[in-house]
Amino acid sequence: MAILLKNVDRKSIYLYLCISYFIAIVHCQADKKTKEDGKEFECPQQVGNGNFADPATCRRFYQCVDGFPYLNRCPSGLYFDDISKFCTFKNEARCGPIAATPAPITEPPTDLAVKCNLSDCELPYCFCSKDGTAIPGNLNSDDIPQIILLTFDGAVNLNNFEHYKKVFNKKRQNPNGCDIKGTFFISHEYSNYQMIQKLASDGHEIATETISLQSGLQDKGYEEWVGEMVGMREILKHLSNISKSEVVGMRAPFLKPGRNTQYKVIEDFGFIFDSSIGVPPSDIPVWPYTLDYKIPHECKSGSCPTKSFPGVWEVPLNEHYVKDFEGGHCPYLDQCVLHNHDPEEVFEWLQEDFSRYYEQNKAPYMMPFHTNWFSIKELEQGLHKFLDWTTSLSDVYFVTVTQALTWITDPKTLQQLNNYEPWDCQKKKENTPPPPCNLANKCALNFKTPDLNFTDIRYLETCFECPNQYPWLGDSGGTGIPGKDNYVPDNV
């Protein structure tokens, strides 16, 4: 090889190796760097680990791990979005590199959260530990359940609903005989509210991800966060018959929490938990914690809260990865590059990732997904293998985020879980919405946002009467009266 390629430049060598081994997602290394246009790609020192746009093409991106760049290729037909930092459809992708806008300094020098003080932090109202890895109630890992949190982001519609039904197929059950459950963080546009009502009626948890999924929300003010979070909760009430008392969790778009502003809205409007903060790769995973104190790990997004919000729970997203970072590391599972794997390899990858929790402190194993995962047959089949394997284990429970937090506030041993009422399925919850109608209203509605000069048409399905106009920010009921919504905090 050295003789044949003696007179070939380093870029050609790199391309030759990539093509000859048919690697769609590779750890291409040329002296631990990759050259583009004669320049070596360097991981940004000030940002740390993460995904970064390839300057040459939107089809590829670099994943930086401990300062070393790995070149990754998006799955066929997808392009790298340099704002959301994952591969998506061409019409949605914002090609990079896009210059980062420095976050405005919004925090005063005082009134910031302090480090965990165990003497002043006791369950059920407060939970913290020095590094976030301690088990609630000081129980031994052998005596507690391994919780798995299946979470799904975005709209629910024909693109994913049948896939979700296969995951929750009524055959997979927890050790107490109850069907496994998940949590859905709903965004509004393109959602089918008959399907969402069906998920809620079946006992899955419905939470909010905002109405518009707008980028840059982390830099917006209090009113914008109220409109997005509380407005989404109102839409779920109007169109899916889900009581606002049942919608107690939220997730920020693109895992970009809104600094102290978002958490002030959570505190003011009766939400119980957030699940927006990513945890950098760590040997031991982090448990959920309350925001009474400073978060116990590095803020991956750069926009985490800095003040104290007593009693507000954070359910963080630990990074998914395996030894040697094959496939990279990712908060959402569909952002790890596994699309060249067959179902058995995907299953083994998930097994290895899961074992870091199961064999150590049994922190909840969150499995967050976008619809992208289910568009690749091998990924979906590998997931089903993993679900079948984990549901065969006697100490593994798939529950909703709220059910998990209920256990954390008052930890029970494995022996106490067969009759554990918060995880029991014999008695239906009082506020669970009824099953949806068999034939939904198909609504074609006018849609115009303030930044558009024209009126578009948006479609939704609901068991309720079609609103006058497509519900949106400021008009969650779809009345057609802009700015109609006026939300009052619960604590006023």
Q: Which segments of 98-215 does DSSP mark as H helices, in order?
A: 161-167, 193-201
Residue type, 458: R
Largest CA distance in the chain: 78
173 φ, ψ to 5°? Answer: -130, 155
Question: How far does CA 470 lie from the centroid of its chain?
Answer: 26
**Is 10-89 in CATH node 3.40.30?**
no
Verify cis geometry, omega within 30 degrees of 0, for the bond prior to 364: no
């998006």: which residue's tokens?
74
Give the burial string for 423-440 (b: 16+ CB within 10 Å, else e).
beeeeeeeeebeebeeeb
For 202-256, the pLDDT digits (tens) are 999 999 999 999 999 999 999 999 999 999 999 999 999 999 999 999 999 999 9
Mean pLDDT (whole number) for 427-442: 88
- In whole angstroms, what is the distance from residue 120 CA to residue 399 CA? 29
* 3-state SS, residue 430: coil
Within 10 angstroms of residue 446's Cβ, the number of other Cβ atoms is: 13
Query: Which residue carries 């006026």 as its tokens?
Result: 486
Residue 87, strand partner residues: 80
Question: Could you tell me the pTM of the whole model?
Answer: 0.80
> Tens digits of per-residue pLDDT, 158-199?
999 999 999 999 999 999 999 999 999 999 999 999 999 999
pLDDT score recorded for residue 18: 43
Number of CB atoms found within 10 A of residue 346's CB:
26
Calpha distance 56→120 (Å, rounded): 53
Chain-centroid distance, C-alpha 370: 8
Of 75-84, 316-325, 336-345, the range with the lowest mean pLDDT is: 75-84
Q: Residue written as tokens 């926009």?
A: 303
Exposed/middle/buried for residue 147 (C-beta within 10 Å: 0-12, 13-18, 19+): buried
Residue ranges of domains in the chain: 10-89, 118-423
Instruction: Give residue 492's pLDDT band: very low, low, confident or very high (50, 70, 90).
Output: low
Q: How far is CA 243 from the centre of its chain?
A: 23
Alpha helices in 141-217 (DSSP H): 161-167, 193-201
Q: pLDDT tens-digit profile of 84-122?
A: 777 777 777 888 888 765 444 444 444 689 999 999 999
* CATH fold of 118-423: TIM Barrel (3.20.20)
Choose among 215, 208, 163, 142: nearest CA to 401.
Answer: 208
Q: What DSSP designation does 285 have?
A: P
